[in-house]
A and B are shown apart, each in its own frame.
Chain A
Amino acid sequence: MNWLTILSSLVAAALGTGGTAAVIQAIARRRPTKVEAVDRLNETTLEWAEQLKADARDARADAREARQEAAESRRAALDAQREATESRRAALEAQREATESSRRVAELAEEVRALHAAIYDPNASIERLRTAISANGRLH
């Protein structure tokens, strides 16, 4: 054995003994660590995770506000729809009344035309006119 071999043997023995002692020590003081999930994360990653959490919180708040606004819009749309239905019903009613009025005006015009023709008939007489007009004053 030369000096190099002896030296390297000593170094190897020291390393081997130190390593074995470290392993024995590791087994002896085995205990679960409290920082199980976090231990391998460095500071930047933790910062990043915090930022992500904050972003998620903001996003949740935004979503809640958007939901509220959507509900209000829905409510407003329903109100508008109800009002539109009522307006449509009123318009139909008004149209029906207008049609009825037109019909009555047309009837009256026809009656006036007939009365006018009866008055200007060459054979017209007061007696005939009296006979033609009924008790309610209408020509028949």
Chain B
Amino acid sequence: MGDRVVIVAGRHRPHELVFLGLSVLLGATYLLGAPPPASVVALMPHWVVDLWSAGLVFSGLVGLLAVLVFGRWLESSLLAEAGAMLVGAGALVLLATASISVGGRHTSIFGVGFIVAWALANLVRAAQIRRELVQHDGELK
């Protein structure tokens, strides 16, 4: 082994876990009656807003369960995590579009940038999982 340094990184990705938790929290809060973002309300019908909130809860909950609880079923938990990422990305795309459409020139760059970055990260993670699953297809069964 000589002087080789081996670094074992942590198993969980803290940013992902925190955003999944935030997703559950925000979605549940909106479903329980807290006022959703004004841009979403202004642009979408009420049932779409509810669906959007449910999407946030679903994405966060499934993602957290997949990452933290169902490690024994590796293939399924990865697939579920990828699904959660996609649903989350969908909800975030809606939010970003609503913010840009309603805000116009006064759109908060930071806010929209943050939402787009979050959505992009979700998509990249989903693609990562898909690539791993395709690469190791057969080994995980």
Contact = CB atoms under 8 A, between A and B. Distances in A.
B82 interface: yes
Interface string B1-32: 10000101001000000000000000000000
Interface stretch (A38-46, A64-72, A93-101): A38-46
Interface residues of B, number: 42
Given A1-B43, A23-B84, A44 B90 contact: no
Given A31-B76, A35-B139, A5 B86 contact: no
A15 B74 contact: no
Interface size class of chain A, counting residues whose CB lies under 8 Å from the partner chain: 35 or more
Given A4-B100, A31-B141, A23 B74 contact: no
B85 A8 contact: no
Contacts of B8: 45
Contacts of B140: 33-35, 39
B75 A33 contact: yes
Interface of A: 1-2, 4-5, 7-9, 11-16, 18-27, 29-36, 39-40, 44-45, 48, 51-52, 55
21 contacts: A2-B101, A12-B90, A13-B90, A16-B55, A16-B90, A18-B86, A19-B85, A19-B88, A20-B87, A22-B86, A23-B84, A23-B87, A26-B75, A29-B75, A29-B79, A31-B73, A33-B72, A33-B74, A33-B141, A34-B140, A45-B6
Interface of B: 1, 6, 8, 11, 43, 48, 55, 58-59, 62, 66, 70, 72-80, 82-91, 93-94, 96-98, 100-101, 126, 139-141
